[in-house]
Amino acid sequence: MAKNSANGDHQTTTKPPPTPSPLRFSKFFQPNMRILVTGGAGFIGSHLVDKLMENEKNEVIVVDNFFTGSKDNLKKWIGHPRFELRRHDVTEPLLVEVDKIYHLACPASPIFYKYNAVKTIKTNVIGTLNMLGLAKRVGARILLTSTSEVYGDPLVHPQPESYWGNVNPIGVRSCYDEGKRVAETLMFDYHRQHGIEIRIARIFNTYGPRMNIDDGRVVSNFIAQSLRDEPLTVQAPGTQTRSFCYVSDMVDGLIRLMEGDNTGPINIGNPGEFTMIELAELVKELISPKVEIKMVENTPDDPRQRKPDITKAKELLGWEPKVKLRDGLPLMEEDFRLRLGVSKKI
């Protein structure tokens, strides 16, 4: 019987998982673990690759279409004998022989995922279907990076995994949040129907070095704006909240989830909750005390509050975030200064 879910009996499967490659059972030779990271040239993906590559028993294959990611994020691994980078779009089938799949491929910034909404849905639905098909063929365990956006504009606060969400199915964010909801459904259907070993992480807003400078997300916007002496654009009303997780904590949570016995979904995020005005004030205090804060128009369906309930992550993964926002922002500032060529005023 395949390992069951964290969410009750209705989600267990009686099917055994597909058989992994015969190489795994080799008596005389212990092969390396072959790990596929889709979207590995992106922000979280490239940090995950760094961590996976630290283990000499891991071989890492990244596939990415470079829509929001970049080879630059992986430059230290290009040419390494345990590393391979392929330009590939996950909406097309992929034939590789792997043992584990971290499936991250999908634009994450609202500006980018709304840019070609149909493509975002295809990436979430067809892309996840393709990766599940691959997992089934080769007997790999697969982890999906889902999102707190599956809770929509939540009516329950903080959000536990048992909350089904309040999502607009026809709004401008639906390509992403409904796309990820279907991706989660596909994961569980493959688990129940085909015995695939699945893991689902519901990631809450994550920040850190390597975010695209003009990515459009709030932390990267505020840091870039403060370094360019531009006003920090708080989208009205500014009282909406988010909970920000530093990327090293996120990577640690994802690896624990992959290596553990629970399917999830499991929230991975930092429960420290901030209004956008508070975030702007903190960036001002830490990076540029003279910078202005400007209220600008918001976009439709912006969730009013978001904070993870991480009881499950604590209990099932022994995980909780370590880096406070106040400590993480300066680490990101350092990286943005380097990339923007703005040195610190003394």
**240 scored as a contact of ligand UGA (CB under 6 A):** yes
Per-residue string for binding with ligand NAD, 111-150, x by CB under 6 A? Answer: ------------x---x-----------------x-x---
Distance of CA 176 to the CA centre of its chain: 13
**68 scored as a contact of ligand NAD (CB under 6 A):** yes
Contact stretch for ligand UGA (CB under 6 A) within 20-28, 182-190, 233-241, 317-325: 233-241
**32 scored as a contact of ligand UGA (CB under 6 A):** no
- Give dist(CA 343, CA 339) in Å, integer: 10
**167 scored as a contact of ligand NAD (CB under 6 A):** no
The pair of three-digit structure tokens given for residue 26, joined into one six-digit string? 């080799």
Which member of 49, 60, 85, 90 binds ligand NAD (CB under 6 A)?
90
**302 scored as a contact of ligand UGA (CB under 6 A):** yes
DSSP H or E segment with residue 226: helix 218-227
**275 scored as a contact of ligand UGA (CB under 6 A):** no
Look at residue 232 and give its three-state secondary structure: strand
Contact 202, 150 (CB under 8 A): yes
Question: Where does residue 50 rank: exposed (0-12), middle (13-18), buried (19+ CB within 10 A)?
Answer: middle
**226 scored as a contact of ligand UGA (CB under 6 A):** no
**321 scored as a contact of ligand NAD (CB under 6 A):** no
ω before 20 within 30° of 0 (cis)? Answer: no
Least distance CB 32 / ligand NAD (angstroms): 24
Per-residue string for binding with ligand NAD, 197-226, x by CB under 6 A? Answer: ------x-xx--------------------
- Give dist(CA 25, CA 99) in Å, integer: 13
3-state helix, strand, coil in the chain (%, to 5): 40, 15, 45
**234 scored as a contact of ligand UGA (CB under 6 A):** yes
Beta bridge partners of 275: 241
Which member of 5, 7, 13, 39 binds ligand NAD (CB under 6 A)?
39
**147 scored as a contact of ligand UGA (CB under 6 A):** yes
**235 scored as a contact of ligand UGA (CB under 6 A):** yes
Is 151 catalytic? The answer is: no
DSSP H or E segment with residue 340: helix 325-340
Closest CA to 139 of 185, 103, 97: 97
From the list ligand UGA, ligand NAD, none, partner contacted by residue 43 (C-beta under 5 to 8 A by kind): ligand NAD
Closer residue to ligand NAD (CB): 110 or 195: 110
- Only one residue has tokens 């015995």, namely 195
From the list ligand NAD, ligand UGA, none, partner contacted by residue 39 (C-beta under 5 to 8 A by kind): ligand NAD
The pair of three-digit structure tokens given for residue 15, joined into one six-digit string? 């099917």
Rounded to a whole number of angstroms, the distance between the first and last alpha carbons of the chain is: 62
Binding residues among 202-221 for ligand UGA as defined by CB under 6 A: 203-205, 217-218, 221
From the list ligand UGA, ligand NAD, none, partner contacted by residue 5 (C-beta under 5 to 8 A by kind): none
**68 scored as a contact of ligand UGA (CB under 6 A):** no
Closer residue to ligand UGA (CB): 141 or 242: 242
Closer residue to ligand UGA (CB): 289 or 300: 300
Least distance CB 237 / ligand UGA (angstroms): 9
CA dihedral defined by 222, 224, 225, 228, rounded to 10 degrees?
160
Cβ within 8 Å of residue 216, ≥6 positions away: 109, 110, 111, 112
Number of neighbouring beta carbons within 10 Å of residue 345 = 5
Catalytic residues: 176
Name the site residues for ligand NAD (rule: CB under 6 A): 38-39, 41-45, 64-69, 89-91, 104-108, 123, 127, 145, 147, 203, 205-206
